Amino acid sequence: MVLKARKIAVNLFVLMRETHHKVEASIASASPSEEKTMMWHKKLGHMSLKGLKILSDKKLLRGLTKVTLTFCEHCVISKQHRLKFGTSTSTSECILDLIHSDVWQAPVVSLEGARYFVSFIDDFFRRCWVYPIRRKADVLAVFKTFKARVELESKKKIKCLRIDNGEE
């Protein structure tokens, strides 16, 4: 059977075939270099074209000589647009002057049944503590434990706790 096709774009063809309903089907084909580039792109956590070219030039990607990255649906879907935060002029001068805290939902339930995490970040040292919790109502008990621990270790008191005013 011989198929006739009409080229629409690079590597994109519409097959012209007689059927009972006269349906056109489109298929896409990729060259071996495009397939290898896509394989490395995925293996390296959806690395950019520029990054792939740098690694390829240094001969660090086995089998990849020509870098041609095609459309990646996952990269487009995961792209997020966010507004920039305003520039902050406040800086903490000592440990525990300012602690940032937030509660976030885990993508999966842990083996011990934790559905959420609460994080505490010291603004001065940027040290982060993360505690798994089962319910949002457990935040206060975890904060009391955290507060006692860090104040005992540092021999300083927490001056300010900054949260996002969420329901937790």
pLDDT-derived band at 100 (thresholds 50, 70, 90) equals: very high
Write the pLDDT tens digit of every residue in 32-87.
778 888 888 888 888 888 988 998 888 888 888 888 888 887 787 777 666 666 77
Q: What DSSP assignment string belongs to 2-29?
A: --EEEEEETTEEEEE---SS---EEEE-
pLDDT-derived band at 96 (thresholds 50, 70, 90) equals: very high
Q: What DSSP assignment string belongs to 31-85?
A: -HHHHHHHHHHHHTTS--HHHHHHHHHTT-STT--S------HHHHHH----PPP
pLDDT of residue 27: 47
pLDDT-derived band at 23 (thresholds 50, 70, 90) equals: very low
Q: Which of the 8 DSSP states describes residue 96?
A: T
Range of weakest confidence among 11-25, 66-80, 81-95: 11-25
Q: Which of the 8 DSSP states describes residue 138?
A: G
Q: How many C-beta atoms surround the C-beta of residue 120 within 10 A?
A: 20
Domain boundaries, the chain: 32-79, 99-162
The answer to whether the pTM exceeds 0.85 is: no
Write the pLDDT tens digit of every residue in 114-129.
999 999 999 998 999 9
15 or 137: whose pLDDT is higher?
A: 137
Highest mean pLDDT, choosing among 2-11, 22-31, 54-63: 54-63
- The vertex-32 CA angle with 78 and 73, nearest 5°, equals 15
Q: How many C-beta atoms surround the C-beta of residue 72 within 10 A?
A: 14
131 or 39: whose pLDDT is higher?
A: 131
pLDDT of residue 86: 72
Whole-angstrom CA distances from 109 to 37, 115, 133, 142 are 35, 5, 10, 18
57 or 165: whose pLDDT is higher?
A: 57
Distance CA 59, CA 57 (A): 5
